[in-house]
Amino acid sequence: MTMEQVSQRSVTDMKHADVLKAALTHFLKHGYTGAAMADIARDADVSTATLYKYFRSKKELFTTIAMNAAHAVRDLDELTLEKAPPEEIFSHLLLIYWEAQQEGHVNDLMRIVIAESRSSPDIARTIFKSVVEMRYRGIKKHLDLMVERGVLKPHDTNLGARLAIGMLREVFVWPAMFDPEFRIPPDALDQAREAYNVYMACFAAEEAQEAQLA
């Protein structure tokens, strides 16, 4: 790759980032229906034609914004899962989940999706598959690894992922969805530990249950 090509690619990457930044601002301010591609292009300092070269539709742009928000934090793969105790994995899950929901604007974007689900049901379906189900698959992968390690007994980890996230969502996500000023409570880790204990009571392998009770 020539220096000129590198320079062109760098400019393209910067413009792409400018588009995403401008789009996030417009979606958060105006919602999905109210955000206009022409206005996003203007604030990103690109032509509308260039914007459509990056994203074929507003739906594709919004979906990319939502997926980026869900991925904008540390990943569970940072842990050495072959060695990490399950409680550490669950605690880490809580932290990255909260970071994505609040700092990554996932809560804000989900409010937009819910508000416009009747007028734009295809957007709601796309976001559910692209973001929510993606998160379930990621948690399922780690539960499967813990089953392989013998920490968890064999069980339906697809359902297990939904149960694990469901407990966290009830305590930390739903309150924040209805109250933008909600902040993670001081006893969050204690509540997460209780959720972990419930999960382990159902699915821990026998040796793990004995160690937990010891």
pLDDT in tens, 43-63: 999 999 999 999 999 999 999
C-beta separation of 79 from 58 below 8 A: no
- Percent of the chain residues topping a pLDDT of 90: 35
pLDDT in tens, 60-115: 999 999 888 877 655 656 665 567 788 888 777 777 777 777 777 888 898 999 98
Distances from the Cα of 14 to the Cαs of 51, 70, 120, 149, in angstroms? 13, 21, 30, 43
pLDDT of 12 over the 80 cut: no
pLDDT of 9 over the 60 cut: no
Q: What is the pTM of this model?
A: 0.76
What local confidence, expressed as pLDDT, does residue 45 receive?
A: 94
Mean pLDDT, all residues of the chain = 83
Q: How much is the average pLDDT of 131-155?
A: 88
What's the topology of domain 68-213? Tetracycline Repressor; domain 2 (1.10.357)
Question: Which range in 8-12, 21-25, 93-97 is most confidently predicted, on average pLDDT?
Answer: 21-25
Domain assignments of the chain as residue spans, ordered by start: 3-56, 68-213
What local confidence, expressed as pLDDT, does residue 82 receive?
A: 62
Q: Where are the alpha helices (DSSP H) in the chain?
A: 3-34, 37-43, 48-54, 58-71, 86-102, 106-115, 121-127, 133-149, 157-168, 174-178, 188-203, 206-213
CATH 3.30.1600.10 correct for 3-56: no
Tokens 């968890």 found at: 152
pLDDT of 213 over the 80 cut: no
Of 8, 112, 21, 108, the closest CA to residue 61 belongs to: 21
